[in-house]
Chain A
């Protein structure tokens, strides 16, 4: 029976009309406000995840926004994705728009190189789909597609990270070339390591 009764009636039972002075309303609401404020600022935060939410998620991000209000799209992406995104920018800036790029594998990004103390990559951009947009309209070919797809036969540039993939080029590349991108045909110059 009650289930068919509109809940509105339950929620909005007619309030008894009583003449109440502004002072009375003010005092009651002052107490309510104080209790509400204490409740809202104390009780949820018994659970530490709410402290994280307030301090790390809401406040910290706002601080970054205030710190870099005029950051460009690429700067914001680099802020979140670190060295990997800077490397993508390097690839984009050093290849023509019609380039077909051999893109390093996850293993290449995670590899270590004796010339570099700390690997500058964090592995956030190891999937092909995650870099397709940033490199568009360039085409991307991955290790597993190498030699199997028609695009892999049209590779114009090889991306090198942690010294890996130098062997994909038809000419010798010096061992000091650690991170960068080189054309398959006639290297005009070997652009050296970008600064992730």
Chain B
């Protein structure tokens, strides 16, 4: 039952991505299938819960089947033969070299160990036990999310305090409720398959703009990031958000270069799922909006394109309405007025700098990116090479710390947040850093030379 549900989720996402465009490669569609399917199904689960639907085995399966069938019907109706033709892989191995194989072997070795660890151990990390996993488990047991016993003030008096898990965006909680409702003993299949999908998706996405070997190197380097991979086997939202936010933003950057509609729509869909995962993910949606706005102003792109990044807010707005109507709100921790607190700003600046400049949590990622930025300086200035990605990286980083600055830390200190939580926030920048590095012209030329010298033709 669980295996069938996971396959159906994947197929639903596969058809939805295909629906955006049949031009997406099989790797991209296979990679994004599961996260997209899960995002859509859990969003509908919330709507169903809002109107009194029960979280139960039969309902979960029926919902997944309906989403899958509807997506399939629409994609067949809209694309007809093109869809079937797009499923046939193209074979061009002129680039094939043994370095690519070696990188792939390393990648499989790393992910095999990580996947096994993720699936073997149940949820034991504190944040998930005190939030995502427990809520998902209880929702499956009590067949409701909005009516959960732990959301009642009498049983959990602190549930409506600032920073409480009641106000977390519920994609992951619904995902866990989904898998528990199907009888799973643990919810770890969700993070395990999400991360595996992300790896495939990242490679497929990177391959659009760089050579196969460079894409494989970027993927391996990204996966082999110490803190990020170790968190990927836990049940928290951070790595999943990193997956959706980074790929979403990169697709928007690709749209800035190529102006292909499907890239913008895909980026927006992924950013919407990122919003559906974590509230502060909105900084990536804002970044995408600014990038699109710049294209409208400077490159005369159609202003109607701006609607697409705005639509990424649908999950957030819907959840706000749902939580308000179901009394799932907590005391706000956001400072909504503009203010200046030099001490707080200084602490945040120091914290951000410490995170980005140390080599422990993210390994070489940011240092190598900095070297790539400097080395690629000539092409950045002369040909504007990779500038949109660099802009997206910097802009979203500034916005992220701006959001941290505007949080009123009633439940914790800013120092604690920077020391323990903010390191997880930075995961979103690791895939972007490696993408930037391997997509910069100077690195590309190295990999192109390898493929030219050692390829099959």
Contact = CB atoms under 8 A, between A and B. Distances in A.
Contacts of A80: 121, 124
A176 interface: no
Contact of B211 (A11, A76, A136, A151): A11
Contacts of A11: 209-211, 214, 444, 448
Contacts of B121: 61, 76, 79-80
A65 B120 contact: yes
Given A4-B259, A136-B138, A50 B226 contact: yes
Interface string B88-125: 00000011011100110010001001101100111010
Interface string A116-151: 000000001101111011001101000011001111
Given A5-B257, A36-B103, A132-B134, A73 B122 contact: yes
B13 to A, nearest CB: 24
A53 B229 contact: yes
A62 B113 contact: yes
Contacts of A25: 454, 456
A15 B451 contact: yes
Q: Give the secondary structure class of A's interface.
A: helix
Given A15-B95, A44-B364, A76 B226 contact: no
B387 A57 contact: no
Contacts of B364: 44, 47
Interface string A12-40: 11011110100001001110110011001
B110 A128 contact: no
Interface string A73-84: 100110111000
Interface in A39-89: 40, 44, 47, 49-50, 52-53, 57-59, 61-62, 64-65, 73, 76-77, 79-81
A2 interface: yes
Contacts of B144: none
Contacts, number: 163
Nearest to B358: A49
Contact of B97 (A29, A73, A81, A124): A29
Given A7-B257, A11-B444, A50 B299 contact: no
Given A5-B257, A33-B98, A133-B134, A61 B155 contact: no
B370 interface: no
B224 interface: yes
B28 interface: no
A189 interface: no
B343 interface: no
A53 to B, nearest CB: 5
B341 interface: no
Contact of A49 (B209, B360, B441): B360
B185 interface: yes
Nearest to A78: B124
B155 A3 contact: no
Interface in B172-201: 185-186
The 9 closest A-B pairs by CB, nearest first: A7-B209, A2-B383, A129-B130, A58-B113, A3-B384, A29-B98, A80-B124, A61-B117, A130-B129
Interface of B: 94-95, 97-99, 102-103, 106, 110, 113-114, 116-117, 120-122, 124, 126, 129-131, 133-134, 137-138, 141, 150, 154-157, 165, 185-186, 208-211, 214, 224, 226, 229-230, 254, 256-259, 299, 359-360, 363-364, 383-385, 387-388, 439, 441, 444, 448, 450-457
